[in-house]
Chain A
């Protein structure tokens, strides 16, 4: 459900090697001088403190320069939803619910939300909110926006399969009725499916809506004042904002990849960025004038087995999971900026029942050790023997990025440790994406070195991928109990009850090793040490992070 991949274009990858060279040159160029500029020791993943937010800001700031890793494709998230677009637009557009920095959600533009029964959601539209053109946010705008999101051609349409009807039932009231209870619907309303557009403005812009030179159609703390295609995007604080006024008046976004991004932050040309790649964080570690914060995120690195070859057997998959050196991968592939992890969703997905999920995660560690010990290897070998070792080598699909290369190497080493053979198949990045979608492309590999994040802070936003009819269930995992429990959890509105079910589901998924989790990937905020107040967690994609940003001292 609304699973969105981290979009990393080939051009960014192509220059990753350049970054390493840049680091080398700087170090060589200034030996004896100030070498701290290229960062200190690698981070220790186990010691990364994952926080929700940074200390509150005290003073006003006239302008902040912010870096994105890429230019947004579009500022209409219904037609093209990418991370870069979200980072910008989340300050401009508001949603019916709001994801908080600690990854919980609360009603937002919907001032009140009532559930008279399991199949009805009544939203009351907040009073006194105006769009950036001065017109009032009405129930008609809300209904029109929801209908736009639900259109089959739009990005968020898959959030609406259980919706039976949506209608205006009062002057400022929308009633959504469901075919069956849907626990994730309100979570979707905190994401892109809950954006409230100004109907009149969107219709006026037509096909050009969201492209450079257009105005926004939202009600958030900032308004879009300019998008010079290929150059920059500028936001200015909206004077008529209904909520608290932002401390930062203007935010200018530019974009750069790898070494250019690192250099811009190093020289102070930019004040901050949410780093998508752990390499960026590692290159900027210990740089004077910059602070780094690591935040809760749902993102993980995983191995996704296919039904071809040896990994079709759950025993072999479990053996591989037991023998994999996750700590080694975190250290040499990602500079210690990822943490060995035993489930396919990061801790940012625990938007409720945090203690229960944390305890369950600890238990799962037995199936996915950080560093396998002798017992793990012995158990893995036993499983292989029981399964009857496959004779064909296991083909590991990857692209040439640094992290994935290291993971692929580690998988091969793990296979070797338990008496199996592995070969690595490296394809160009453009082709790599096809592995996710095309069973024919996948027919060439036995396991994919993958990354994944979910847009909702609920583990159940992930586990439908293990349903026997899911297109992301590549090994043909079929378990009636699992399917039943997933469906039950997705229809359970009570958080505590759903958490219990989710933990059961998670255990079944891990027992069958449908996917093999490797590490969780925190979100990284790099920020000038004169600024503070932005959230550090993955909420930066859905929460108006710039509104809280300001000077450290008043």
Chain B
């Protein structure tokens, strides 16, 4: 077990290292010159001034040297200062992270509860009008991009009806929930459809298995069968999919953040990319990769607990 953990940890670190270099190179290669943004007003954009700015921010050094500088500081827990904001990158990220995490958590809660619920409902009422309604409804939901959902939700429930606030992320628990409901809903809508489909299919597969047939033949009540045999066996793919979708959301909140005027990680990243704010873009992207790895690792670790067959395989492997 410790050996396995160590292997996994080494794998994670190697991934992060590789990812950090790829991200650094990608941000470096993006079109546009950061010195233009750093120099100040347009009348200051003389070649001499630009050269001075490049030297000041080490932008005139080769890619590998710049990366090495960044990595060295990063290993000393120093993410640097933002080019755009003069603030510490760590402070900028720390200030915006709670908003994005709360948003993703809320959206996850919504798509897991509603998506799995709808999927289960469709599976147990397979080939009835309930099933058709769920499949039809989720197909529709999946085809609506989140920014369209956001705009529609905000204009109906925010502007017309005035039930929810249209900007900001709110204060306190109640305030946050109130502010984040519409954004979380827009974010969850597409995922909700996906999860309900996966749930429905996994349940259908599990229901068709031999041991369910056997259980049914032995006269166990249907409710028990669905709960203990069908759903339990279907949980593996459902949890995996929920994890992947949630991990993906960590990187996909920008559109919703913009539509609802929330300053989260997503809008911080887009702003940083547009102004060539290397230190911020690098830190946020790396944070997103880390988040993705963390969530998928947790899913991997949880999987054997849910499914004895996977646990068995892991032991023999």
Contact = CB atoms under 8 A, between A and B. Distances in A.
Instruction: Name, among B39, B91, B96, B167, the residue most crowded by chain A CB atoms within 10 Å (CB to CB).
Output: B167
A229 B92 contact: yes
A230 B263 contact: yes
Contact of A229 (B30, B91, B151): B91
B221 to A, nearest CB: 47
A76 B86 contact: yes
Contacts of B78: none
Given A437-B36, A437-B42, A260 B160 contact: no
A70 B268 CA distance: 11
Contact of A260 (B43, B44, B152, B258): B258
Contacts of A434: 32-33, 36
A437 B36 CA distance: 7
Contacts of B111: none
Contacts of A429: 274
Contacts of A3: 41-43
Interface stretch (A22-30, A512-520, A540-548): A22-30
A1 to B, nearest CB: 7
Contacts, number: 178
A10 interface: yes
B308 interface: no
B191 interface: no
B44 to A, nearest CB: 6
A56 B94 CA distance: 42
Contacts of A73: 84-86
Contacts of A9: 271, 274-275
B40 interface: yes
A256 B42 contact: no
A15 B257 CA distance: 11
Interface in B156-180: 156, 158-160, 162, 165-169
Contact of B167 (A4, A230, A263): A263
A269 B166 contact: yes
B164 to A, nearest CB: 10
A353 B293 CA distance: 66
Contact of B268 (A207, A230, A257, A259): A230
Nearest to B50: A437
Contacts of A5: 41-42
B40 A29 contact: no
B57 to A, nearest CB: 12
Contact-residue bracket for chain B: 35 or more
**Interface-centre pick from A30, A267, A269 (highest chain B CB count, 10 A):** A267
A540 B125 CA distance: 64
A107 B73 CA distance: 48
Which secondary structure dominates where chain B touches chain A? helix
B45 interface: yes
A332 interface: no
A402 interface: no
Interface string B85-110: 11110011001100100000000000
Contact of A18 (B36, B158, B259): B259
Nearest to A430: B32
A495 B168 CA distance: 48
Interface string A6-39: 0001110011001001100110011000000100
B261 A254 contact: yes
Contacts of B33: 434, 437-438
A138 B44 CA distance: 31
A257 B56 CA distance: 32
A10 B274 contact: yes
A471 interface: yes
A261 interface: yes
B154 A263 contact: yes
Contacts of B44: 155, 158
A433 B158 CA distance: 36
Given A74-B85, A76-B86, A430-B276, A472 B151 contact: no
Interface in A99-145: none
A26 B152 CA distance: 8
Contacts of A244: none
Contacts of A11: 258, 267, 270-271, 274
Interface string A489-507: 0000000000000000000
A428 interface: yes
A264 interface: yes
A210 B39 contact: no
A270 to B, nearest CB: 8
Nearest to A229: B95
A472 B42 contact: yes
A2 interface: yes
A210 B85 CA distance: 9
Contacts of B132: none
Given A18-B147, A257-B258, A260-B260, A269 B43 contact: no
Contacts of B30: 430
A371 to B, nearest CB: 30
A29 B261 contact: no
Nearest to B81: A207
A328 interface: no
B31 interface: yes
Nearest to B48: A471
Nearest to A26: B155
In order of increasing CB-CB distance, the 4 nearest A-B pairs are A256-B261, A260-B261, A437-B45, A229-B95
Given A211-B85, A264-B167, A430-B273, 10 more contacts: A1-B43, A22-B155, A25-B152, A155-B40, A155-B41, A208-B87, A211-B88, A229-B96, A257-B258, A267-B159
7 contacts: A18-B258, A18-B259, A22-B151, A257-B261, A429-B274, A430-B276, A471-B45
